[in-house]
Amino acid sequence: MTKIIYTPQLDYNNVLIRPKRSTLSSRSEINLERTINFKNGGQWHGVPFISANMDTTGTYEVYKVLSQFKIITAMHKFYTVDDYMNMKSMDKNLFMVSTGISDTDFLNLKNILSKIDCNWICIDIANGYINKFVDFCKKVRTEFPDKIIVAGNVATREMVEELILNGGVDIVKVGIGPGSACSTRIKTGVGVPQLSAVMECADAAHGVGGHIIADGGITCPGDAAKAFGGGADFVMLGGQFAGHDENPGEKIEKDGKQFKVFYGMSSKKAQTAHYGKMDKYRASEGRELTIPYKGPLINTVEDFLGGLRSTCTYIGAHKIKDIPKCTTFGLVSQQVNTHFVK
């Protein structure tokens, strides 16, 4: 018999954060850095945003900007050991080496980490519900007992608990289909609205000593604040960190306006670029988009950090760790007045 969940399932645009009386008098009083201790050992300190491990945002050029703010870059999985060897002055706490789950991927991961110093591993596949995924995570944990291991993507409680308790994972990446360049929900009908996924998965992870990354669905700084308010420990940004000078690709001009290309890693463009083809047994679950050119990446970073500091002053959160306990969401039918917006 078909089952239906009648509890409302929410995206970021379905809620606003209610303001509360605050003793803070200035955004400058807010501390956006966190120190996090992980279940399997290891500690990290920094600003808990992460640039997505897509080949338009998970790059060395992006890392060079974000590392100045103590923000992590998840490098895309197609960098070779030679590529990493050519990257100079990398802070081992501020970038992740990404990998798929094939035997070749595992050998490549071992080769890279034998040559460079990095504290983070990101095990990344679109569908984190397959048995092979958990087994691969176990194998990586055995091989690298001292690394901070991220794995995803999933969007429900049971797989978060499985990955942390049986896969040896420290942080679970949460999000099935919310990204602007993702078409999984259109092609498959599968997904969980992102705010509900974050809230459920954060509750599950924290209950067993783990952490989560809210991955995808961020359209503005306010959405990031809502993700943290819902319990996310980290927020991963793809499209918001794309379209800048530091992102690869030439600017495209249309009707007097400038754009850059941004595409999902399950898109036909990405599959063709990295594997030579899109296999006939699969559908493209990613979009190829042209997004407005945004100038230097530092402008977007400062906009997000400034927005988050402002959130904190509205709800009385002195530091980023306080945001969840200071957050009360209100269901809304409209977020903003767009009457004069074209």
Query: Structure pTM?
Result: 0.92
What token pair was written down for 273?
A: 């670029």
Q: Is residue 110 domain-resident?
A: yes
pLDDT for 141 equals 98
Examine residue 7 and state whether it is found in any structural domain, yes or no. no
Q: What pLDDT shows up at residue 187?
A: 87
Total number of residues shown for the chain: 342
3-class secondary structure, 101: coil
What's 265's domain CATH number?
3.20.20.70
What Å distances lie between residue 243 and 3, 246, 296, CA to CA? 41, 8, 9
Does any domain span residue 27?
A: no
In a domain, 4, yes or no: no
Give the C-alpha separation, 218 to 303, whole Å.
13
Q: Give 69's DSSP letter.
A: G
User: Of 190, 182, 180, 176, whose CA–CA distance to 285 is shortest?
Assistant: 182
| Other CB atoms within 10 Å distance of the CB of residue 299 | 11
- What's the CA gap between 184 and 276, in Å, rounded? 21
The total of structural domains in the chain comes to: 1
Residue by residue, pLDDT tens for the chain (342 residues) are 789 999 999 999 999 999 999 998 889 999 999 999 999 999 999 999 999 999 899 999 999 999 999 999 999 999 999 999 999 999 999 999 999 999 999 999 999 999 999 999 999 999 999 999 999 999 999 999 999 999 999 999 999 999 999 999 999 999 998 988 888 888 899 999 999 999 999 999 999 999 999 999 999 999 999 999 999 999 999 999 999 999 998 899 988 899 888 765 554 554 555 454 445 544 545 567 788 999 999 999 999 999 999 999 999 999 999 999 999 999 999 988 888 886
Q: Tell whether 339 is covered by a domain.
A: no
Residue 340 inside a domain? The answer is no
Strand ranges inside 28-170, DSSP E: 34-37, 43-46, 49-51, 72-74, 95-99, 120-124, 148-154
What's residue 53's pLDDT? 96
Domain interval for residue 280: 16-21+32-331
Distance CA 256, CA 50 (A): 32
Domain-embedded: residue 342: no
Cα–Cα distance, 13 to 196 (Å, whole number) = 12
Distance CA 265, CA 269 (A): 8
Domain presence at residue 252 = yes
Catalytic machinery residues:
182
User: How far is the C-alpha of 236 from the C-alpha of 40, rounded, in Å?
Assistant: 22
CB distance 92 to 84 below 8 Å: no
> Please, what's the largest Cα pairwise distance for the chain?
59
Residue 203 and residue 324: Cα distance in Å, rounded?
11
CA-based end-to-end distance of the chain: 46
Among 328, 9, 324, CA closest to 156 = 9
What is the full DSSP assignment across 159-209?
A: HHHHHHHTS--SEEEE-SS-STTB-HHHHH-----HHHHHHHHHHHHHHTT
